[in-house]
Amino acid sequence: MRILIVDDEAPARQRLRAMIATLDGHQVVGEAATGQEAIAACRRLQPDLVLLDIRMPGGDGLQAAAGINQMAEPPAIVFVTAYGDHALAAFEAEAVDYLLKPVRRERLAEALQKARRLNRAQLAALQLRQQDGGQHLLCRRRGDLELIPIDDVRFLQADHKYVTVNHLGGEDLIEDSLRQLEERFGDRFIRIHRNALVARRYLAGLERRPDGGYQVRIRGCDVLLDVSRRHTAAVREFVRRLAESG
């Protein structure tokens, strides 16, 4: 795996380089001392992984990660820092791992293995999505990327920046927006609320709530989902046609 080391302190870069040299299958292809240098080096060297310090002059590691992630094929990122107060921000930046200084060789090896596994999973997932015309949703589960067949999805429900995917194998979170999902799979789902899409094949019926509103039943699932007033007529018509055809 081709690795770029980014740290404003030369001794820290040298220590990581020395540890990587003791681990098989990895090559340090370059170093950078600032966030701007890191972005430029990524474009020039195209590494598989960036070991990225967070607190640096000339743009911190989080800013550099944002720039790196805008690349067409961004490398995996592992943050390496002396401070433990950036963990949440690091994972929001889609980091593979978060290492605290002084970095132990065992933890570095674990992070590199995780990055290698993630890259392989990404490649396999992209290949499968291309082969099947994109009929899967991509989610991250316990650090690994997994594919959810769209035919297995019962409903999609938005909650803040994530979408919950309820499917035959359980539930997972994805970062696609409902609007994007509706554009891709609109023929398979019906919108029942501004925050929910239900798979047509799993919509089992419409029920009236005591307050006069409506909910839908989902086949194979105990969850009842609210139908907004705006979408009630369309859902009622769909359920009527479903009953007539069945």
Q: Tens of pLDDT along the chain (246 residues)?
A: 899 999 999 999 999 999 999 998 899 999 999 999 999 999 999 998 999 998 887 668 888 988 888 887 788 899 988 876 655 565 556 678 888 889 999 999 999 988 876 565 555 555 555 555 668 887 777 655 677 899 999 999 998 778 999 999 999 988 778 988 998 898 999 999 999 999 999 999 999 999 999 999 999 999 999 999 999 999 999 999 988 876
| Ranges for all domains in the chain classified under CATH 2.40.50.1020 | 136-245
* Residue 29 CB-half CA count within 13 A: 18
Q: Give the global pTM.
A: 0.52
Domain at 136-245: CATH code: 2.40.50.1020
Q: CA-CA distance, 71 to 146, in Å (whole number)?
A: 22
Helix orientation angle between 35-45 and 61-68, rounded to the nearest 10 degrees: 30
Domain at 2-125: CATH code: 3.40.50.2300
| Ranges for all domains in the chain classified under CATH 3.40.50.2300 | 2-125
